[in-house]
Amino acid sequence: MSIDSEYHRILSPLLRGWIYGGDTVGYSTPVGILACQRDPLLRKLDATVVASALSSPPPPSKGKNTKKAVLAPTIHPGEICLEVCLTDTVIFPEGGGQPSDTGIIHTLDGTVWAVLQAKRHGDKAIHFVRVHDGDIDGALLAFAPGAKVKVELDQAGFARRQDHMSLHTSQHLLSALLETRLGIKTLSWSLTSYPSSCYVEISRGMSLQEITMIQDEANKLVFEGKKVHVEVEELDTRNVKPVEKLESGRAVGRGLPEDYTGGVHRVVVIDGVDRNPCCGTHLPSLNNLQLFILPHTETLSRSSTTVARLNFLAGPRIIAHLTSTHNYLTSTAAILSCGTPSVPERVTQVVEDRRSATKRIEEAELELARYIATDLVREMQGAGSIFKKHLHRTEDSTNVLAFLTTIASACFEAIAESGTENPYLIILSSSPSAQMVTNTNVVFILGSDDKLVKEVGEAMKTKLGVKGGGKGLKWSGKFSGVWKNRKEGSAVEDILKSVS
């Protein structure tokens, strides 16, 4: 693609002459008018090394990582890289909410070097190139100023570019329609890790009808094949408008980076739809883009303002989403032995059956707990002094502690109803039927004296390694391992014997 084309239009003769009128050897093309920004479909470019230096990557961020973190390649601590500046590049440097491209560089000796990421420093695109086998001297020689190289988006790099372009252009389209059709401003947006949905943060939530309307409007423009082009001219900072802010003080969008020194003012235009300053790469047309908005908004509360997040998919991510969704649906249908249209009805039935079964189990456990409590109280009434009892059960339930708690509660009720004042100490324990070192065994202690209960609990910690605690007349805990009556059971009996 030439300097001026249907897609890339330099409006200012001064800018055209400044950048292309003289000898550019030894100078790097400023960010804003890089080859990747002039032609986002260009994959290879001959270039010359302007400068290179050993890189010192910063330590990894200590901030909290989230599932929706922006997809940005990282350089691992200890990885040796060169920072390489070229006369021009097809590898987009991170900026404008769009993550860095990745790619490769071919040097004259035939070596292929991986570009892990690219960043903007002032007005320059800096490539972070991995050094082979720690050979720093060899790498610096290969990337000596004046060396001829070929910079390229390899297959993985171009797939990444297509994904970013589809989503970035979709975001411009979505934000434009939200503002012009509904008066909803986009506060920010995030290009998340593939294949998750991306999102725009907006000033309020939206109804399903509004979301459907915006999606239909967007795809109508896609069907019409609206063209996209870029207009550039020299940057006059006196004409740069400050970032708009809401009454809450929240900024709307992003402004020009304070450290940008490229002198290029770049505007991305969707014909008849939107004009917005942007440094990112964009599709030349909305053709075949498609846009799918997830049919809900998430409400976010941020200090003095409440905003909402609207998720969307476009381009390759729609295919990934449909493929994964279809696979989940067909797998679920196979498990339920029904056709895919019947899945919602069958899942509803399974949930109702599970709820009914859970209720029946709870009722049966309560009835069983009362029988156990009645037997214990009957034994207790025949005891001459303090009643001591260890009751062990084999249970494969997912919530054994809840059942033991039910037994304990039934015991307290039965003791109160019997009117007995006989002191007592009861240890309930449970272990799974399978003998495995990863088993979780549960212990529950109840008694008529809180000090005695606590004393026995501490003994369980010391002799069996039980982790737990309690308050008043109850104490519970768990420990991992195999429960054997001749060992763990005997230890519990010894603890009871020591109680007086």
Which range of residues forms the domain containing residue 128?
A: 24-58+67-158
Q: Is residue 40 one of the residues assigned to a domain?
A: yes
* Type of residue numbered 321: H
> Residue 115 pLDDT more than 90?
yes
User: In terms of domains, do 216 and 234 share one?
Assistant: yes
Residue identified by tokens 């993550």 is 99
pLDDT in tens, 345-360: 999 999 999 999 999 9
Q: What is the domain count for the chain?
A: 3
CB-count burial class (<10 Å; 0-12, 13-18, 19+) for 221: buried
Question: What per-residue confidence (pLDDT) applies to 247?
Answer: 52
User: In terms of domains, do 168 and 147 share one?
Assistant: no
Q: Which of 158, 178, 202 is the last residue of a domain?
A: 158
User: In terms of domains, do 307 and 261 share one?
Assistant: yes
Distance separating alpha carbons of residues 124 and 464, to the nearest angstrom: 65
pTM (predicted TM-score): 0.75
Question: What per-residue confidence (pLDDT) applies to 455?
Answer: 93
C-alpha angle 149-71-155 in degrees, rounded to nearest 5: 40
Question: What per-residue confidence (pLDDT) applies to 168?
Answer: 94
CATH number of the domain that 135 lies in?
2.40.30.130
As a whole number, mean pLDDT of residues 438-444 equals: 93
pLDDT in tens, 34-90: 999 999 999 999 999 999 999 876 665 555 454 444 565 778 888 899 999 999 999
Q: Is residue 369 one of the residues assigned to a domain?
A: no
Q: Is residue 480 one of the residues assigned to a domain?
A: yes
- Of 248, 299, 253, nearest in space to 276 by CA: 253
> Residue 297 pLDDT more than 50?
yes
Show the 3-state SS of 123-191.
CEEEEEEECHHHCHHHHHHHCCCCCEEEEECCHHHHHHHHHHHHHHHHHHHHHHHHHHHHCCCEEEEEC
- Of 445, 398, 400, nearest in space to 425 by CA: 445
Compute CA distances 471 → 43, 57, 103, 475, 476, whole Å: 69, 53, 62, 6, 9
Instruction: Give the sign of the dihedral formed by CA 490, CA 494, CA 499, CA 500.
Output: positive
User: In terms of domains, do 43 and 124 share one?
Assistant: yes
Q: Is residue 10 one of the residues assigned to a domain?
A: no
User: In terms of domains, do 33 and 182 share one?
Assistant: no
CATH number of the domain that 200 lies in?
3.30.980.10
Least confident of 380-389, 392-401, 405-414, 452-461: 380-389
CATH number of the domain that 440 lies in?
3.10.310
> Residue 1 pLDDT more than 60?
no
**Average pLDDT of the chain to the nearest whole number:** 87
User: In terms of domains, do 191 and 284 share one?
Assistant: yes
User: In terms of domains, do 47 and 170 share one?
Assistant: no
pLDDT in tens, 392-419: 999 888 889 999 999 999 999 999 999 8
Distance separating alpha carbons of residues 268 and 280, to the nearest angstrom: 9
pLDDT in tens, 136-167: 999 999 999 999 999 999 999 999 999 999 99
| Percent of the chain clearing pLDDT 70 (strictly above) | 87
How many Cα neighbours within 13 Å face the side chain of 404?
Answer: 29
Q: Is residue 241 one of the residues assigned to a domain?
A: yes
Residue identified by tokens 């390694």 is 465
